[in-house]
Amino acid sequence: MSDSAPVSDRFTQAVEIVRRLREEISHAVIGQQAVVDQILACFLAGGHVLLEGVPGLGKTLLVRALAKTFSGDFSRIQFTPDLMPADVMGHAVFDLKNQTFSIRRGPVFTSLLLADEINRAPAKTQSALLEVMQERQVTIEGESHTLAAPFMVLATQNPLEQEGTYPLPEAQLDRFLIKILIAYPSETEELTMLRAVTQGRLGDSLDVANVATLIKADTVVALQQLVAQIRVDDAVAEYAVRIVRASRDWPGLAIGAGPRGSIALIRVARAMAVMAGRDFVTPDDVKTAALPVLRHRVALAPESELEGLSADQLLASLLEQTPAPRA
């Protein structure tokens, strides 16, 4: 995508690139189209994703496929209770030969970082990573190292085994642009996956060999910049604010989303507009983005938890009753 091209041409190119990115990812990831779309939207919006789902639903594969589409680096950290911040960020080692300290960069210096089971690591390590996500720079031995763009963290959480975990506090959850719940694939998708994995292969996982590299990392940055320029009408922005403000005193919610919620809502809605081939955001984009953007920014009231309600259910009723704009 050339920067010198007119805006409309650049937009057409961008839409085409996004379409092909989705196509390429779907070569490796079977089904889970909604999840792929949401991750792609977050990627285009330059945010970080928190994935929640049981093991074995293809989270790593998805990240590897995404990394391959743009010739980006990919790292994976398995978070454990003994993981220290230096294991993630990197540290200085003394070089005996040169009698100097040299910096050994940690796995965080990458384009796509899969932080597996982030809630297994102690708060210190979580905070260190979340700070990097926010600042996009790492300080080792007093020296700041800026992370190359694009940089995206995809952290996963297992909703089942809560024993011995350190749940992320609300303030830190807020740093994730969206939270995605990955469900089991449908029967047809699972059957297709089964055939693809077992057909003349030795291992038990899908690979990303079929995924073609389409763009360079620079193009990703250009794409993200273009997404940030997508037009948002005042009525749509007001709709986003209305939704977020409604969450603050909605019955059943103890804590609503902060201003960062409405900012995130518009960022993701912009990306969704591009994915839909539009150069402007509609209220539908905001509404589609609302659940993944807000579900981790609100806290349920104890009564709602007792009654077995989920944040998604409450937010769905909020969206149902918040008047949509008609400009």
Partner 1 sequence: MRLDRLQLDLRPRSHSQALDLGVALLRQSYFTCYATWLALWLPLNLLCGLLAWQYQDWAFFFLVIPWWLRPLLERVIVLVLSRAVFGQQLSWWQALRAWPKELGGGWFRVLTWWRLFMPGRGLYQPIWQLEQARGRFAADRRRVLGRDGAGPAAYWFGIACVHFEAVLQIGLISLIGLFTAPPDAMNPLWMLFDQEIAQSQPVFLMSLACYAIAVGVMAPIYTACCFTLYLNRRAELEAWDIEIILRRLAQERQGSKSIKLPTVGHTLAVLLAVMLILPQAVQAAPQCEPPEDKKVEADLIARQRTPAQSAEQQAIRTELDKVYTHDDLRGYRCVQTWTAKNKTPKEPEKEDKDEEDKGKRSEKVPDWAADLTKAILILGAIALVAWLLYRYRDRIVGAFQQAETRKLPGEVAGMDIRPESLPDDIPTAVRKLWAEGQQRNALGLLYRATLSRLVHQYALALTQGATEGDCVKLAQQAHQQGELPADTLALTQDITRIWLAAAYAQQWPSDAALDSSCSRWQQTFGGAA
Fill in the amino acid letter for 20.
R
Residue 240: closest CA among 232, 231, 228: 232
For residues 262 and 294, what is the distance between their CA atoms, to the nearest angstrom? Answer: 9
Residue 210: closest CA among 75, 24, 46: 24
Interaction of residue 2 with partner 1, rule CB under 8 A: no
Among 251, 259, 277, 312, which residue sits at the site for partner 1 (rule: CB under 8 A)?
251
Interaction of residue 170 with partner 1, rule CB under 8 A: no
For residues 295 and 206, what is the distance between their CA atoms, to the nearest angstrom? Answer: 30
Interaction of residue 206 with partner 1, rule CB under 8 A: no
In terms of CB distance, is 181 or 237 closer to partner 1? Answer: 237
Among 93, 231, 255, 313, which residue sits at the site for partner 1 (rule: CB under 8 A)?
231
Among 129, 178, 180, 281, which residue sits at the site for partner 1 (rule: CB under 8 A)?
281
Among 8, 98, 99, 321, which residue sits at the site for partner 1 (rule: CB under 8 A)?
321
Among 5, 95, 205, 280, which residue sits at the site for partner 1 (rule: CB under 8 A)?
280
In terms of CB distance, is 202 or 306 closer to partner 1? Answer: 306
Phi, psi dihedrals of residue 300, rounded to the nearest 5°? -75, 145
Interaction of residue 315 with partner 1, rule CB under 8 A: no
* Smallest gap from residue 123 Cβ to partner 1 (A): 28
HSE on the CB side for 267, CA within 13 Å?
Answer: 22
Among 212, 235, 254, 255, which residue sits at the site for partner 1 (rule: CB under 8 A)?
235
Asked if 239 contacts 324 with a C-beta cutoff of 8 angstroms, the reply is yes
* 90: three-class secondary structure by DSSP: strand
In terms of CB distance, is 184 or 280 closer to partner 1? Answer: 280
Q: Identify whether 185 is preceded by a cis peptide bond (ω within 30 of 0).
A: no
Residues 285 to 314 in contact with partner 1, rule: CB under 8 A: 287-288, 302-303, 306
Interaction of residue 245 with partner 1, rule CB under 8 A: no
For residues 288 and 42, what is the distance between their CA atoms, to the nearest angstrom? Answer: 13
For tokens 């998604």, name the residue: 312
Chain residues binding partner 1 by CB under 8 A are: 231, 233, 235-236, 251, 278-284, 287-288, 302-303, 306, 319-327
